[in-house]
Amino acid sequence: MTSELDIFVGNTTLIDEDVYRLWLDGYSVNDAVALRVRSGILEQTGATAAVLQSDTMDHYRTFHMLERLLHAPPKLLHQLIFQIPPSRQALLIERYYAFDEAFVREVLGKKLSKGTKKDLDDISTKTGITLKSCRRQFDNFKRVFKVVEEMRGSLVDNIQQHFLLSDRLARDYAAIVFFANNRFETGKKKLQYLSFGDFAFCAELMIQNWTLGAVDSQVDDMDMDLDKEFLQDLKELKVLVADKDLLDLHKSLVCTALRGKLGVFSEMEANFKNLSRGLVNVAAKLTHNKDVRDLFVDLVEKFVEPCRSDHWPLKDVQLFLNQYSASVHSLDGFRHQALWDRYVGTLHGCLLRLYHD
Amino acid sequence: MPGKLKVKIVAGRHLPVMDRASDLTDAFVEVKFGNTTFKTDVYLKSLNPQWNSEWFKFEVDDEDLQDEPLQITVLDHDTYSANDAIGKVYIDIDPLLYSEAATVISGWFPIYDTIHGIRGEINVVVKVDLFNDLNRFRQSSCGVKFFCTTSIPKCYRAVIIHGFVEELVVNEDPEYQWIDRIRTPRASNEARQRLISLMSGELQRKIGLKVLEMRGNAVVGYLQCFDLEGESGLVVRAIGTVCTLDKLSSPAAHLPACNSPSKEIKESPLVHPPSHGCRSTHNSPIHTATGSRLTQNFSVSVPTLIYTGMGSGSAGKEGGPFKALLRQQTQSALEQREFPFFTLTAFPPGFLVHVGGVVSARSVKLLDRIHNPAFVGIMGNTRSYKLLDWNSFNSDEPETRDAWWAEIRQEIKSHAKALGCHAVVGYSESTSICEEVCILSASGTAAVLNPRFLQDGTVEGCLEQRLEENLPAGCGFCHIPYDELNMPFPAHLTYCYNCRKQKVPDVLFTTIDLPVDAIVIGKGCLIQARLCRLKKKAQAEANATAISNLLPFMEYEVHTQLMNKLKLKGMNALFGLRIQITVGENMLMGLASATGVYLAALPTPGGIQIAGKTPNDGSYEQHISHMQKKINDTIAKNKELYEINPPEISEEIIGSPIPEPRQRSRLLRSQSESSDEVTELDLSHGKKDAFVLEIDDTDAMEDVHSLLTDVPPPSGFYSCNTEIMPGINNWTSEIQMFTSVRVIRLSSLNLTNQALNKNFNDLCENLLKSLYFKLRSMIPCCLCHVNFTVSLPEDELIQVTVTAVAITFDKNQALQTTKTHAEKSLQRASTDNEELLQFPLELCSDSLPSHPFPPSKEHLESASANSGIPAAQRDRCSSWIELIKLKAQTIRRGSIKTTVTVEKASPVGEGTFRNRSAPPCTNSTVGVVKMTPLSFIPGAKITKYLGIINMFFIRETTSLREEGGVSGFLHAFIAEVFAMVRAHVAALGGNAVVSYIMKQCVFMENPNKNQAQCLINVSGDAVIFVRESELEVVSTQQSAPSCQSSCTGGEVTT
């Protein structure tokens, strides 16, 4: 006796959250059944393995049918085939677009192309996330990217509108799209200590301050691309380190203000010029695409690592950066105050976030 | 020319990409009614076209309005080649034809293609202007209301219940026409869908005419079925109960109205004008069709078992003369009818007087196209076929089928008469077809009905009233209608345990729902008997003979199984009994489902005895006694499970002859383990006694084992196949209707009867287990109206389809009701201590000690539960909190902003949101439509019936593997069918379908060719319901009415 056909269709579509998670995680039906058995569900409910198998198959089939709609979440809301309560719809979408930290760290900043997709095997082996799940997550990134790529308006809003994601998740996607578009390097060994959250935080600051949309909300592609003009202008900041007098004045202003307040004062004093040179040079280099990609590598190399090797506490880093950016306003010979603020304001936030072990 | 149909095509959405180059579609729409077609403009390059067409106006006869469906075809315009069809929508405009129902059909309909399934949606508005027609000879019957519901619809009251109406229409099946060989599957499927739509429209119109002739205005319990006879054609037949219904002005007052229909009606409902008796197309009930051949006359009528109690007794004291009087009255009223049948299963209070038992009749027929002479002409000369539109032949010679049914109905009628009854209630008809053999079945419950709705002071009325005063309500229907001295079969009668005045049988089987006023102890449960019998493959007459030879044995065994299972549950009555016999190539399947209950009026059932045939064998004896113990344990467990604690009766109260001494002696024996004595008993009772199971061979052993393998549902679950679960009356509002289908392939090696039985049993049991598992989140809940259908699509395939609804209930209140019950029995236990000892002897000895205790335990439980926050409520609370938390998590920040943007995002239905302070999750434009096989919606009031939904779909695929195999294919199709039903209901302005039924689900596959086909027929009543409490509207996301109105509003504006 073999079961040829076995289905269950409810007027309200039944969604089992646990099975949904297993499906999203890319487990085959048999693996999912095994995992469910291990969860002790048989004992709880008195069901048999056959029942569990049939139930899992049913859910998988439903999810498979829903997947097409999940690719364009507004369709899920308007379709008539599956009657799903709104709260469940929200849950389905949110979970479908959720991603694994380990996975996103691997592809963050990479081009969302076929080439990267081919590497998913390796990522799967490396992270222990099933290939199926990797594919789903990658395709999600790519799909969101494709939809919002050419769109006007706020990146987060666009993502929310077209994918009906929660605010949190939409922000994460904005960061992923932003990183993919600008191809920031995040995979270097030096950057391994950074979490997705760190990058997402930086991305948000950069979107808010460094993109076209930050100054003019009527421009195309405003949130995806960095403001080219702004990057060009950043060259002007070079005077801060190139002009010796200006550099000395800046240093003395910072040192005066921080004397006695900093635990690592002497180290700071000794390193000031190096640090300042590092930060300003990063800005000056941003005209080249390749250097834009290396932004995070540079920030870590030029600032985070030197401070860390001198064991600066976070509090001191904060004090230093406050003073470092504020003192520029007192430099009479420096004319690019607004530019400086736009640059260093974001940098300030990013560096603090990046500064940890 | 009394009608103008107006159609407007508004827009489409989610259309499929038809042009690969542009990834877009150039869509336009054809609107067809009868022979008139209109077209919209082509809307270029869009998947969401906005046609906003003018009003297309069709001026048509109301006859056509009733018969024809409105046909909307969406196409992709192609300059160079033929336009490609995207899909179709058929809209039945019948609901617009009577004033009280819908006035407009407006909404999004799924665009359906028989090959690709649903492909986007289309927004359509349909209106009908009807002119008054005073033509006396009209062929239409506009205005007659149809209800699938098998009780008086909730917002109506029955002024007169006229009686039975039936009709059938025959046509050739397009699938078997020669042209089918050359046309595409799509064209063939569409021809079939259209034909069936036409035929059911015609059938409904014809039934309507009969209703008008009988001076009724509605058909209740309307059941329409298709017989796909294959080569010999397609039969659409329908039965129903004609009523004159009055709309209740205030829906709140519907209950009292049922009790007291208006005073003006002097005539009783049943004694209504005999001159308008049910006239049907055949005037003589039995006649042979002309041009008959040997095969046609071949018909085997199967001796029918009549299920009732058994035993013997003496005449009742008081009831006798009155009963006779009553019978005379009813007789005169009913005998004027050809068939005093009623398809209703629930009745206005007082309507049902006595119930005799189940009557059923089956007949095996050979299908032969010769019966329809018109087809001979067509088929004999294929060339001339082209000239003939076979629609013009419709309803040609339905005589044969009509005669078949008339014959069966006649038999039912005579069975009912034998039971001393003049009417049959809960009546239904069905067929099972395999190749050229067809089994026709009819069954119902023989009953005596109250000849008057209204007691208006006549002598009889007084007498009756007095009787009713004397009798506590709720047991009257159990009292035997037949003459005790002249019983139609050996029956075992006792005085009613409730009123002590009338005789009752010891077991009662019926096809109706449990009467509302029936006194039931404990809860009910689903009881099924399952049976397979192998049969040799044979042709024509030999085959029919083989089948008809097997039928009586199957009926008998099904009956025995039911009886045994009922005893095992410790219950004494079955309601909603439905026995389905399915015929296949090489086997017959029998499946009986019913809801077992313990009726307080009926005697406590005895236990089950096992008797061995080979005494003096030590190990065997041991085995037997072991089995006996197991059975006794099961009975005791079941009694506890279903809370069956009948208050035992003191002998003084009885005051009338004590139950026969024989029963006494049996009590004694029931405790003895000696098989010899039991054997003796067995001889004295004859074969029919269900108390004794004889284990004389392995077969019987199997039977006993199978008895014990039925596992009760997990705790928190109950199941029944009636409308409501006896013993549960505190439903909460959550409902989940579902359909589950399973097909198993038998390995041809083990085809023995036992193996078959086991396979079939496992199939059903596993299916039930799966359902319990799937619905575990709804606990405590009850599966109501569990409807199993068995079919044998191929040699080694068994298909079981189940449709049911799971309803949650409040455990707390349930406890309270049992508490009062428990209290009662506790009191009794304390006062009548001595009786306690005598009483349980009748039960199995094991249950003796358990008796006094469970009530008190429950009492404690309920007391503790009542002290603090009720447990169930607490559960609910916590789960709600979880839900809220979950929502909060998913939408953590700026939820309001989120929804606002979401609204902007949706390309369609923007208007929907405008006036809503939307909670984060209710941003869907699709209104919730509930579906239920029940006639009501728990916690809600039905305010309006919008019309009948009767839909037929065919789905076919030539890429079965790609669609996820047979399971994927059927899963998607059933989901689509649900969606289309919901869309039609929503377009009518409704928010629920009640009395929903999937009448047919015919599935055929050919995996080798990667093909499959499925036909589904569903029906139900579209309604508007309103929640009884506003509180619930807030708490459930399915706040359908408010959502509905705003949604439809939104849809119209877009």
Output the pLDDT for position B296. 33
- Taking CA atoms, B873 is separated from B810, B820, B846, B880, in Å, by 8, 20, 35, 10
pLDDT at A355 over 50: yes
Pairs of CB atoms within 8 A across A/B = 189
The secondary element (H helix, E strand) that includes residue B665 is helix B661-671
B928 touches chain A (CB under 8 A): yes
B768 touches chain A (CB under 8 A): no
d(CA B3, CA B34): 13
Residue pair B412/B360 in contact by the 8 Å Cβ criterion: yes
Lowest mean pLDDT among A99-103, B233-237, B788-792: B233-237
Higher pLDDT, B989 or B257: B989
Chain B residues whose CB is inside 8 A of the A162 CB are: 905
Are the beta carbons of B740 and A8 separated by less than 8 Å? yes
Range list of β-strands (E), B410-475: 423-434, 437-449
The residue type at A128: G
Looking at the partner chain, which of B883, B906, B974 has a beta carbon nearest the beta carbon of A74? B906
Are the beta carbons of A161 and B904 separated by less than 8 Å? yes
Quick check: helix, strand or coil at residue B203?
Answer: helix
> What number of other Cβ atoms are within 10 A of residue A273's Cβ?
15
List A residues 7-46 in contact with B (Cβ-Cβ < 8 A). Answer: 7-14, 45-46
Strand partners, B952: B1017
pLDDT grade for B743, boundaries at 50, 70 and 90: very high
Chain A residues whose CB is inside 8 A of the B774 CB are: 8, 14, 55, 58
pLDDT at A59 over 90: yes
Summarize pLDDT for B832-852 with one digit per residue, the tens. 333 333 333 333 333 333 333
B705 touches chain A (CB under 8 A): no
Smallest CA–CA distance, residue A255 to chain B, in Å, is 41
CB-count exposure of residue A191 (10 Å: 0-12, 13-18, 19+)? buried
Output the pLDDT for position B610. 73
Smallest CA–CA distance, residue A12 to chain B, in Å, is 6
Quick check: helix, strand or coil at residue A357?
Answer: coil
Output the pLDDT for position B813. 56
CA dihedral A36, A42, A45, A51 (to 10 degrees): 80
Sign of the dihedral defined by the CA atoms of residues B748, B749, B750, B753, in that order: positive
Half-sphere exposure of residue B444, counting CA atoms within 13 Å on the CB side? 34
Strand partners, B105: B126
pLDDT grade for B683, boundaries at 50, 70 and 90: very low
How many helices (DSSP H) and strands (DSSP E) are in chain A?
Answer: 22, 1
Smallest CA–CA distance, residue A141 to chain B, in Å, is 19
Lowest mean pLDDT among A136-140, A247-251, A274-278, B878-882: B878-882
Are the beta carbons of B974 and A58 separated by less than 8 Å? no
How many helices (DSSP H) and strands (DSSP E) are in chain B?
Answer: 25, 32
Output the pLDDT for position B725. 84
Nearest Cα neighbor of B167 from B201, B205, B207 is B207
- Mutation test of the interface with chain A: which of B770, B792, B880, choosing the one with the most A Cβ atoms within 10 A? B770
Q: What are phi and psi of B790, to 5 degrees?
A: -110, 135
> What number of other Cβ atoms are within 10 A of residue B306's Cβ?
19
d(CA B304, CA B415): 8
Residue pair B837/B843 in contact by the 8 Å Cβ criterion: no
Residue pair B12/B74 in contact by the 8 Å Cβ criterion: yes
Chain A residues whose CB is inside 8 A of the B962 CB are: none
B13 touches chain A (CB under 8 A): yes
Are the beta carbons of B979 and A51 separated by less than 8 Å? no
A55 touches chain B (CB under 8 A): yes
CB-count exposure of residue B394 (10 Å: 0-12, 13-18, 19+)? buried
B924 touches chain A (CB under 8 A): yes
Are the beta carbons of B926 and A83 separated by less than 8 Å? yes
Q: What angle do CA B385, B386, B388 make, to 5 degrees?
A: 65
Half-sphere exposure of residue A59, counting CA atoms within 13 Å on the CB side? 28
Average pLDDT, rounded, for chain B: 71
Are the beta carbons of B926 and A57 separated by less than 8 Å? no
CA dihedral B640, B642, B643, B646 (to 10 degrees): -100
Residue pair B423/B340 in contact by the 8 Å Cβ criterion: yes
Output the pLDDT for position B37. 93
pLDDT at B830 over 50: no
d(CA B778, CA B294): 57
B609 touches chain A (CB under 8 A): no
Quick check: helix, strand or coil at residue B960?
Answer: coil
pLDDT at B566 over 80: yes
pLDDT at B898 over 50: no
- Region B543-571: mean pLDDT is 88
Lowest mean pLDDT among A212-216, B318-322, B925-929: B318-322
- Region B490-499: mean pLDDT is 76
Are the beta carbons of A160 and B971 separated by less than 8 Å? no
- Mutation test of the interface with chain B: which of A2, A7, A42, A204, choosing the one with the most B Cβ atoms within 10 A? A7
Lowest mean pLDDT among A8-12, B101-105, B970-974: B101-105
Residue corresponding to tokens 């659409």: B236
Are the beta carbons of A4 and B966 separated by less than 8 Å? yes
Strand partners, B451: none
Are the beta carbons of B902 and A161 separated by less than 8 Å? yes
Output the pLDDT for position B852. 37
Lowest mean pLDDT among A217-221, A225-229, B979-983: A217-221
CB-count exposure of residue A156 (10 Å: 0-12, 13-18, 19+)? buried
pLDDT at B907 over 60: no
Sign of the dihedral defined by the CA atoms of residues B898, B901, B907, B909, in that order: positive
Output the pLDDT for position A271. 87
d(CA A207, CA B977): 48
Which of B35-44, B692-701, B860-869, B1042-1051 has the highest average model confidence (pLDDT)?
B35-44
Chain B residues whose CB is inside 8 A of the A14 CB are: 736, 774
The residue type at B17: V
Lowest mean pLDDT among A177-191, B19-33, B467-481, B587-601: B467-481
- Taking CA atoms, B52 is separated from A42, B41, B122, in Å, by 56, 9, 11
- Region B720-744: mean pLDDT is 88
Output the pLDDT for position B921. 38
pLDDT grade for A4, boundaries at 50, 70 and 90: confident
- Region B608-624: mean pLDDT is 70
Are the beta carbons of A54 and B920 separated by less than 8 Å? no
Q: What are phi and psi of B131, to 5 degrees?
A: -100, 145
Smallest CA–CA distance, residue B264 to chain A, in Å, is 45
pLDDT at B472 over 70: no
Smallest CA–CA distance, residue A47 to chain B, in Å, is 7
d(CA B44, CA B22): 11
Quick check: helix, strand or coil at residue A42?
Answer: helix
d(CA A5, CA B744): 7
A64 touches chain B (CB under 8 A): yes
pLDDT at A114 over 70: yes
Please give the share of chain B, as a percent, with pLDDT higher than 90: 24
- Region B422-450: mean pLDDT is 89
Chain B residues whose CB is inside 8 A of the A5 CB are: 741-743, 799, 966-967, 970, 1003
Provide ipTM, 2 decimals.
Answer: 0.89
Q: What share of chain B is helix, strand, coil (3-state, %, to 5)?
A: 35, 30, 35
pLDDT at B877 over 60: no
d(CA A174, CA A179): 8
d(CA A3, CA B215): 52
Nearest chain A alpha carbon to B993? A11
Output the pLDDT for position B23. 83
Residue count (chain B): 1054
pLDDT grade for B996, boundaries at 50, 70 and 90: very high
Lowest mean pLDDT among A327-341, B688-702, B743-757, B994-1008: B688-702
pLDDT at B677 over 80: no
Higher pLDDT, B832 or A284: A284
pLDDT grade for A164, boundaries at 50, 70 and 90: very high
Quick check: helix, strand or coil at residue B210?
Answer: helix
Nearest chain B alpha carbon to A15? B774
- Region B384-395: mean pLDDT is 36
Residue partners of B769: CB distance under 8 A and separation at least 6: A47, A48, A51, B711
Residue count (chain A): 357
The secondary element (H helix, E strand) that includes residue B799 is strand B797-809
Summarize pLDDT for A62-97 with one digit per residue, the tens. 999 999 999 999 999 888 999 999 999 999 999 999
A239 touches chain B (CB under 8 A): no
pLDDT at B165 over 50: yes
- Region B515-533: mean pLDDT is 88
Please give the share of chain B, as a percent, with pLDDT higher than 70: 64
pLDDT at B690 over 60: no
